[in-house]
Chains A and B, each alone.
Chain A
Amino acid sequence: ILNVEQSPQSLHVQEGDSTNFTCSFPSSNFYALHWYRWETAKSPEALFVMTLNGDEKKKGRISATLNTKEGYSYLYIKGSQPEDSATYLCAFSDTGFQKLVFGTGTRLLVSP
């Protein structure tokens, strides 16, 4: 069973704060790590897919890093805005590349 863990479970920050979340995954047989942004009643929205150790991706104020040797990825949000409020999910694929196993998510609330 592939175990993907995310922390913290929830986070409440003020507008303008920068924040980060962690996704931990098995360090063996790594194939890809995905980050999604998910708002209630909507489809998860793809943010990043990372495949190489040391990968860094950026999309506006959101960025992510990947360490496949130790099995973790960080997602950073710089200058959080209320519209960033959502659940952030990571998902892991092993070398079988068939299953995609999700973490339980980090729920972010940004107050004005």
Chain B
Amino acid sequence: NAGVTQTPKFRVLKTGQSMTLLCAQDMNHEYMYWYRQDPGMGLRLIHYSVGEGTTAKGEVPDGYNVSRLKKQNFLLGLESAAPSQTSVYFCASRPQGQPGNTIYFGEGSWLTVV
């Protein structure tokens, strides 16, 4: 049972390069999220999606774009990477509906922008 899978796990980018992080979940969840984790900042929501074909901005969306073309995949793009985007990125998903539903996280993607 794969759960939530993120790729790649590690990446080093040069300033100005672009890249895409892929999040895939096999639990048929409606909701998917991208967070970034920085020291002393906890998890901050970048973008989220409540269903296939829909996306919405979170707390820190600038510099990122997302797409949810298929229900199981949620892509996070960096069009022109900046050193401030050096972070650990976590994807999460959960089913729609009941407030008691658990959120499932991926294992994180470590991104360094030099």
Q: A92 to B3: give the CA distance in the assembly, Å.
A: 22
* Contact across chains for A98 and B31 when beta carbons are under 8 A apart: yes
Given A98-B56, A99-B48, A101-B59, do A49 and B101 touch, yes or no (CB 8 Å)?
A: yes
Q: How far is the CB of B95 from chain A (nearest CB, A)?
A: 11
* Contact across chains for B42 and A43 when beta carbons are under 8 A apart: no
Mask: chain A, 35-46; 1 = CB below 8 Å from B; 0 = not: 000000111101
Q: Please tell me which stretch of A11-19, A69-77, A102-110 contacts chain B, meaning at least 4 of its Cβ atoms lie within 8 angstroms of it.
A: A102-110
* Contact across chains for A44 and B42 when beta carbons are under 8 A apart: no
* Contact across chains for A51 and B100 when beta carbons are under 8 A apart: yes
* Contact across chains for A104 and B41 when beta carbons are under 8 A apart: yes
Q: What residues of chain B lie closer than 8 Å to A65, measured between beta carbons? A: none
Mask: chain B, 55-74; 1 = CB below 8 Å from A; 0 = not: 01011000000000000000
Majority SS at the chain A contact face: loop
Interface size counted on chain A using CB atoms at 8 A: 25
Q: A12 to B57: give the CA distance in the assembly, Å.
A: 36
| CB-CB nearest in chain A for B96 | A97
Q: A100 to B31: give the CA distance in the assembly, Å.
A: 11
Q: What residues of chain B lie closer than 8 Å to A51, measured between beta carbons? A: 99-100
* Contact across chains for B42 and A93 when beta carbons are under 8 A apart: no
* Contact across chains for A49 and B102 when beta carbons are under 8 A apart: yes
Given A89-B42, A101-B45, A105-B42, do A32 and B99 touch, yes or no (CB 8 Å)?
A: yes
Q: What residues of chain A lie closer than 8 Å to B33, measured between beta carbons? A: 100
A sample of 20 cross-chain residue pairs with beta-carbon separation below 8 angstroms, ordered by A number, consists of: A9-B40, A32-B99, A42-B108, A43-B105, A43-B108, A44-B90, A46-B102, A49-B101, A51-B99, A91-B43, A97-B99, A98-B48, A98-B50, A99-B48, A99-B58, A101-B59, A102-B44, A102-B45, A104-B41, A104-B42
